[in-house]
Copies of this chain bind each other. A is one copy, B any other.
């Protein structure tokens, strides 16, 4: 089986290394091309800067898209599918928008489009979810989908360090990028959550402009210490539920009691959970990023294609309505300004220097918090353990 790898960064070079591994040779996989940028040096014989060379090579069976970003990744994936090549990608940003388009194109061209590595890195989450769906309805998903933000929160919790100091450390270790926004503001989680919800509910969320997101940029070491005194750890999670023809989803800072798996997910690990009718609660824990775990998931997809193991077929054509009132939660809010008038419709109480807002719909909470942030750029909020989470 001949594989072309587009891009030779962390994921692309990891895939190359795993395929070259001694005990993989029996699998009879071979890298035919590696697409690099025009100005890069061709240090390996497989390297080329011409995408058409790959698209027009009839001997290439599988294209691994490892460029990242939206374009030209989207265009290359579509071209590869339309040239009758199977496509595998770990690129959550492009899938979150174009999952249905890719799936339809794959079906039209009688090839596969697989993306296990896009959510949870090395964790077999997509396949675990798809497997559960063969038997159960899965109407609740919750998880720590992002290792960088988990590393930051874990370090703050263990060492009492400030957000800024830990972020710098994460950047020095290569866990966080120079522009850390995707990780700390929740956009990376948003993409992974939408891909998971698309599969779980067989819908096409696409641009997810209505998804409420609140990240960890404003968290302080005092916040973390206060939550610890209450016996809780704060985590940045994505979660979604479905009831009847409605669903909701949210990315937000959430408290977990110390004796939960979430509270004890350390370092840059991920933990993703589903709830099914008969299977009950099922949790997957592992490395959600990094060269080898992510590349492992890509090569697993290659092997599934080689062994003709078809993944769950989804049309993404079910219509569910996003309902911002589906879940009500309690929230703690920290702000320098008086927010009592803004939240006058809800029961409020004092918790130390925080105000607790009781049983407010999640969508409404995020809307009002935007108003708070206009008055106080450093304001912070966190949701409390509730029936909304996979519990």
Give A residues with C-beta under 8 Å from B.
Answer: 18, 21, 23-24, 27, 122-124, 127-128, 131, 134-137, 259-261, 263-266, 276-287, 290, 292-293, 295-296, 299-300, 303, 307-310
CB atoms of B135 and A24 under 8 A apart = yes
Main secondary structure of the interface of A (DSSP, over half): mixed
Complex contacts, A264 vs chain B, CB 8 Å: 259-261, 263-264
CA distance A29 to B127 in the complex (A): 22
With A261-B261, A309-B309 as contacts: A279 and B122 at CB distance below 8 Å: yes
Residue of B127, B128, B137, B300 near A134 (CB, 8 A) is B300
Q: Are B283 and A286 in contact (CB under 8 A)?
A: yes
Least CB separation from A291: chain B residue = B278
Contact residues in B for A260 (Cβ distance below 8 Å): 264
> Contacts of A276 on B, CB cut-off 8 Å?
296
Taking the closest CB of chain B, its distance from the CB of A99, in whole angstroms, is 22
Provide the residues of chain B in CB contact with A23, threshold 8 Å: 135, 137
> Which residue of the partner chain, among B263, B283, B292, B308, contacts A278 with CB atoms under 8 Å?
B292
Complex formed: what's the CA distance from A281 to B123 in Å?
10
Q: Could you tell me the distance between the alpha carbons of A165 and B301 in the complex, rounded to whole angstroms?
A: 49
Nearest 6 A/B pairs, CB to CB? A283-B285, A278-B292, A282-B286, A280-B287, A278-B296, A122-B279
- Copies of this subunit: 2
> Do A287 and B279 have beta carbons less than 8 Å apart?
yes
B122 adjacent to A303 (CB under 8 Å): no
Whether B122 contacts A280 by the Cβ 8 Å rule is yes
How close is A391's CB to chain B, nearest CB, in angstroms?
11
Which chain B residues border A259 with CB–CB below 8 Å?
264, 266
A283 to B123, CA, bound (A): 9
User: Chain B residues with Cβ under 8 A from A293's Cβ?
Assistant: 278-280
Given contacts A280-B293, A295-B278, contact A300 B123 (CB under 8 A): no
Given A24-B135, A279-B296, A280-B290, output 17 extra A-B contacts at Cβ < 8 Å: A18-B135, A27-B134, A122-B280, A124-B282, A134-B300, A135-B300, A136-B296, A259-B266, A260-B264, A263-B264, A276-B296, A277-B292, A278-B292, A278-B293, A280-B287, A281-B286, A283-B286
- Bound-state Cα–Cα, A293 to B287, Å: 26
Q: Cβ of A261: which chain B residues have Cβ within 8 Å of it?
A: 261, 264-265, 285
Residues from chain B with Cβ under 8 Å of A296 in the complex:
135-136, 276, 278-279
10 contacts between A and B (CB under 8 A): A18-B135, A18-B278, A127-B131, A134-B303, A261-B265, A278-B295, A278-B296, A279-B287, A281-B285, A309-B309
| Chain B CB within 10 Å, residue with most, of A18, A23, A131, A135 | A135
Q: How far is the CB of A290 from chain B (nearest CB, A)?
A: 8
> Once bound together, how far apart are the Cα atoms of A295 and B280, in whole Å?
12
A122 to B307, CA, bound (A): 25
* A19-B277 Cα distance, complex, nearest whole Å: 13
B310 and A307 within 8 A (CB): yes
> Closest Cβ of chain B: how far from A297's Cβ, in Å?
8
The residue among A124, A263, A279, A284 with the most chain B CB atoms within 10 A of its own CB is: A279
Q: Which residue of B lies closest to A154 (CB)?
A: B259
How near does chain B come to A358, taking the closest CB pair, in angstroms? 27
Closest to A127 in B: B131
What residue of chain B has the Cβ atom nearest to residue A283's Cβ?
A: B285
Distance in Å: Cβ of A159 to nearest Cβ of chain B: 14
A276-B290 Cα distance, complex, nearest whole Å: 14
- Residues of chain B within 8 A (CB-CB) of A286 are 279-283
A128 contacts across to B, CB distance below 8 A: 124
